[in-house]
Amino acid sequence: MRRYHQALLVTLVCTLVLLAGLLRAYLAEPRPLTSAEVLAATRRSVDLAVETAIARGGLENAERFVAAAVASDLYRQGFGGVNVRLVRPNDANRWAAFYFSVNASGLIVRFDLDGTRDPLFAIRLGLDVRIRPDPFHPYRSHDEPGILAACLEGHYYHFAPEGPDLFARLENRTRDPYHFGFESLLSDESRLAADYGFLETGKWGLDEVHRARYGVSG
């Protein structure tokens, strides 16, 4: 009987050791990175980039800043060793100006700019303006007074190949020869101007390209 109890005790101890090992392995196993964590990290990183750009008067390399900030944020969440790279399809696609993608070690997540503060307006004019794509299409419909008024009131942004994208705006630039961008319309109640043109020259008025784009006389 004594040997039986000893064998039972040994079996119990071995079982507990095995369970402890399995539990330790389960707890030590890294949780998988999901798009939710990447998207949340990107949102915080873009906000940080905007705040830093405003404080510094522009970033030296906005793309590198955002990528590093996303990697740092993921590390704080417990995801170490993630290789973060930004994908900016607006280098070839003019219709991709309002988003970019984050490649986090093969996990690709799209980030839309809707609601992001425009750093260029904040740096140059001290204004808190949010980037929101214009819902009125085609843009030539702005020749209707009601649509133009709604566009100006909402401070909507429009695809504009010659305009600066988010990263150029983070660098306090009004042009980017390598990426398609966007623009908003400004008004002094009698005249119009494209935002980046006004910030460059301080002058009102639309050129022929913009008058044709929006169907206005501006």
- The answer to whether the CB of 38 falls within 8 A of the CB of 106 is no
Q: Which distant-in-sequence residues (6+ apart) come within 8 Å of 158 by Cβ?
A: 133, 134, 139, 182, 183, 184, 185, 213
Would you tell me how many other CB atoms lie within 10 Å of the CB of residue 23?
Answer: 10
Q: Are 156 and 134 in contact (CB under 8 A)?
A: yes
Report the pLDDT value the prediction gives residue 28, as an integer from 0 to 100: 47
| Rg over CA atoms, the chain | 26
What is the model's pTM? 0.85
- Say which DSSP state 106 is in: T
Q: How far apart are CA 15 and CA 11, in angstroms?
A: 6
Q: How would you write the pLDDT of the chain (218 residues) with one tens digit per residue?
A: 555 556 555 565 456 555 555 455 444 456 899 999 999 999 999 999 999 999 999 999 999 999 999 999 999 999 989 999 999 999 999 999 999 999 999 999 999 999 999 999 999 999 999 999 999 999 999 999 999 999 999 999 999 999 999 999 999 999 999 999 999 999 998 999 999 999 999 999 999 999 999 999 86
Q: In what order do the strands lie in the sheet with 192-194?
A: 157-160, 181-187, 192-194
